[in-house]
Amino acid sequence: MGILTKIKQFCFVTLRIWKYKLLSDCKNVSGKPNLFVPLLLKGKGKISFGENVQNGVTSAHFTYSTYNYILANEADTEVSIGNNVVLANGASIQAVSKVTIEDNVMIGINCFLVDTDGHDLDPEKRMDGDVKTGAITIKKNVVVFYNSVVLKGVTIGENSVIGSCSVVTKDIPPNVFAAGNPAKVIRNL
């Protein structure tokens, strides 16, 4: 690695990683991911990382301009990330109840996992109504490709692959390729 590359890495990645560590306010974090892009950890809940979790991919685009975001909103919220997981650049996880990512999972660039509607659908309750939530579970060896969204209450079965730009609204069985909006099974693997 040349001196110019080292300077660029320090100025545009390392300093930003430190900045986002300072901005993070989640106090209940266990495990230590490998940080290749900044990671912002927010909320009152629990966030746990397994062994060899990779946050960001240096050879991917947005290395110098993005960060990954994990929100464990409430005190009883839990975000659990297993071993050998890759969260590519721009990945976001927002949990009110629970998000579980098992071992050997790859989450692509700009993917979004959210276990809540965010607001009540009834216009009268939208600002202060009860928020509907449902746990998300991503089983072992799953790949979720670029720009996909996984919504509340979804389980993606072992070894399945979610195609780019998909919106996963319902459970996906194991060992399939699924894609689309809403995502549906295209073929078995």
**Per-residue pLDDT tens over the stretch 154-165:** 999 999 999 999
What positions carry a catalytic annotation? 119
**Per-residue pLDDT tens over the stretch 66-123:** 899 999 999 999 999 999 999 999 999 999 999 999 999 999 999 999 999 888 778 8
Question: Are 55 and 39 within 8 A, CB to CB?
Answer: yes
Closest CA to 107 of 160, 56, 53, 145: 145
d(CA 55, CA 47): 14
Predicted pLDDT at 153:
97
Question: Considering only 39-53, 61-75, 95-109, 175-189, which range has the smallest mean pLDDT?
Answer: 61-75
pLDDT-derived band at 131, boundaries 50, 70, 90: confident
Q: What's the chain's average pLDDT?
A: 94
Predicted pLDDT at 42:
98
Look at residue 64 and tell me whether its pLDDT is greater than 80.
Answer: no
Sign of CA dihedral 119, 120, 125, 129: negative
